[in-house]
Structure 1
Amino acid sequence: MALFNYKIRLTAPTLSHVKFNSMSTSFQQENLAKALYSVLADKLSSLQAQNGELTIVVHADDICTVSETLRDNPVLGFDTLIDLCGIDYSTYGDTLSAKNSLRGKRFAAIYHLLSVNLNHRLRVRVLAENNDIPVIDSVTEIWPAANWFEREAFDLYGIVFSGHPDLRRILTDYGFIGNPFRKDFPLTGYVEMRYDAEQKRVIYQPVSIEPREITPHVIREEHYGDSES
């Protein structure tokens, strides 16, 4: 698998400012990267490739325009949305490996695209501007498969997809409180469920597990793999 990196200086007017760092670059992916830069240069916050995967970062206001271009442009032809998920970047940046471009924005939606005819793939990252109420435009009119994917991200992360035709929970039950994939959601949850023999139905009750604080173990890159002497 080809390993290469692209970095775009957004103030640059020409493709010559795309920086290549590669040992062996996939010809197909290099052409795709050039096509993306040529077609979407003014809409890209960044374009990177690592471990054989291309990723572009797009501003939340541009996601629908960019998505239509990605689907309809004959050189790109991304006719299929394979997956869409949410990410909570809370505490991201506490390690040295954090990218500065991602610090400060808490929530993002990640789109995995496929061109069946051209046989290439792309990852699109969109960062929500508001950390308290994250809002990103829905792409259901562009890729209908986004319907349930966006509902999952809404349910698990609380990301509101503006323009979605039926934005409601899909994995948790109707009375669920909070968004379970957010990093500040307690591991025990807020309530627990059990069957009540007297009422002959399932009921909720306060969590009986003692809460505890879990501190993540962080391995910083400059010491990774070092053996203790």
Structure 2
Amino acid sequence: MPEKRMLSMKRGCIHPICLLITIVYRSIMNWILDSCTLIYLIKARLFQQFMKYLNDPVIIDTSVYEEVITKGKERNYPDASEAERRLEQYNIPIIPIDIDPELKYFIDPGEASCYMLAKQGGICLTSDERAYKKIKGRKTMVMKIDDFYFQLYLAKKIAEEEFFSILHELEQVYAIHPKITNFYYQRLKREKKNDARDLNSFKERRIGPIKSNSKE
């Protein structure tokens, strides 16, 4: 696929396959974290691993920084200092943006900024179902944290065992509900069963059905 066409598709598409393409191929998209996603990645000790899988820049805005770092340190949250260290380690830009036009709709400053930055050319990564629905309703690229890792699994960047290990870590910090993990478990179980049935069907077409040796 020509580079120009691929980038055009990614900019205007919110279908999961477009997001998968963004993960697999080099692009010019930004990954924008809202407050809860940044906090959960830090709490679950997944932030460094998360950064390892990205080709594209990760950015946050000043509202997210204030909520997670500034206010977090004022309240003596240990994760605030850890988040600050990781942002500095990876030189993550903190973008000032006027969120007032969208604050009434989103209410939460971090969600409003995530949407506005994604609208300018990026993918908003969130772990909040309400924020996900609002941003998606605005036809802007958005992905939930569990789906991000599922797309990595589909792209064969992580194995199934690692995928479920990550989901377990996210469960432990209440980033996702256990029913989400069970959903993926059942989905992969069904797909494996279908793959096995398709393989048997293919073999039968090639060599014919296997006949029993027993006499009726």
Same fold (TM over 0.5): no
Going by fraction, where is helix more abundant, 1 or 2? 2
Using CA pairs below 8 Å that are at least 6 residues apart, which structure has the higher relative contact order? 2
TM-score (norm 1): 0.27
